Amino acid sequence: MNTRTHGWGYTAIAVLILAVMLFPLYWMFNVSLQPSGSAVGTPWIPLELSFDGYATALREQGRNLVTSLIVATGSVLFSLLIATPAAYALAQFKVRGAGVVLFGILISQMIPGIVVANALYNAYSDLGLLNSIPGLILADSTHGIPFAILIMRAYLLSIPGEVIEAARVDGAGQIRAFVAIVLPMSRNALVTAALFTFLFTWSDFLFALTLTTTETVRPVTLGIFQYIGTYVNDWSSVMATAVLASLPAVVLLVVAQRFVAAGVASGAVK
C-alpha cells in the first residue's frame, strides 16, 4: 500500500513539474490566438480565438522562416558531408594522431561562440560572405561538424570490422563499402547527428546577429528579436511567430525520437 501511495505521489510531483515546464509554451500559444494587444490581459483559457497574429506573422516573418529553413537544411547536409567520412576514418582506420584530433574537436566545442563569430566577421568581410546564406551555413556548421563527428564516431566504433572486410572481399572498394554498408547501418546515428545539427542551426542567434546586417538574409531568430522591438504592443503576432518557429523543431523531434534514442544508446555503449 505504501509503495502504491509513493508511486502516486511521485507521479503527482512529476506532473506538477511537467506542467510548470510546459506552461510558458501554453502561454505562448494562448497569446498567439488572442486579438492584438497586451499579453498581460490575456485570459487563462482562449475563448475568443483570433488568427490575425498568424496572418501578420506569415506576412512579416515568412521570408525569415524560409531563410532559417534553407540555412538549417544546408548546414545539416554540409555537416554530415564532412563529419561522416571523418568519423568513419577516426573509428575504423588507424589514423596517426587520432587522439589529438579528437581532443581538438572537444576543445573546439568549448570556445565561446562570440569569439568564433567575431573572427568569422573579419574573414567574411574580406571574402564577401556577409549577408549571405552560404556564409550562415558555413558558420553554423562550425557547431554541427564537431558534434556530428563525435556522435558518428561513437556509433561507428560498434560496427564490426569483419562486416567491412567481407564487403572488401566481395570486391567492394573503401568508398563503396562505406556507402553501401556503413551508411545504411549508421542510420540511427545519422538521424541523431542531423537532428541536433538542425536544432543548433535553427536556434542560432549569435551568428545571425553578427554576420547579417541587412534584411536581405535574416533568420527567424533575429527576426523575432527585431520584431519585438517593432511590434511590442502586438504580442499576438510576436507569439504567433514564436509558435511557427517552434513547429519544425517539434515535428522533427516527434518523427525522429526513436532514431535518436537508438543512436544515443548505441553510442553510449562505446
The pLDDT score that the predictor gives to residue 215 is 82
Distance CA 149, CA 81 (A): 11
Give 140's contacts (C-beta < 8 A, 6+ positions apart). 71, 72, 75, 200, 201, 204, 207
Question: What count of residues does the chain have?
Answer: 270
The pLDDT score that the predictor gives to residue 137 is 95
Contact (CB, 8 A) for 84 and 190: yes
Q: Which CATH homologous superfamily contains domain 61-269?
A: MetI-like (1.10.3720.10)
Residue recorded with cell 499576438: 236
Measured from the Cβ of residue 32, the count of other Cβ atoms closer than 10 Å reads: 26
Residue spans of the chain under pLDDT 50: 1, 267-270
Give 74's contacts (C-beta < 8 A, 6+ positions apart). 133, 134, 137
The pLDDT score that the predictor gives to residue 182 is 82
Q: Per-domain residue ranges for the chain?
A: 61-269
What does residue 112 show for φ and ψ, rounded to 5 degrees?
Answer: -55, 140
Give 111's contacts (C-beta < 8 A, 6+ positions apart). none
Closest Cα to residue 225, out of 120, 122, 210, 69?
210
Buried b (16+ CB within 10 A) or exposed e, 209-237: bbbbeeeebbbbbbbbeebeeebeebbbb
Global confidence as pTM: 0.84
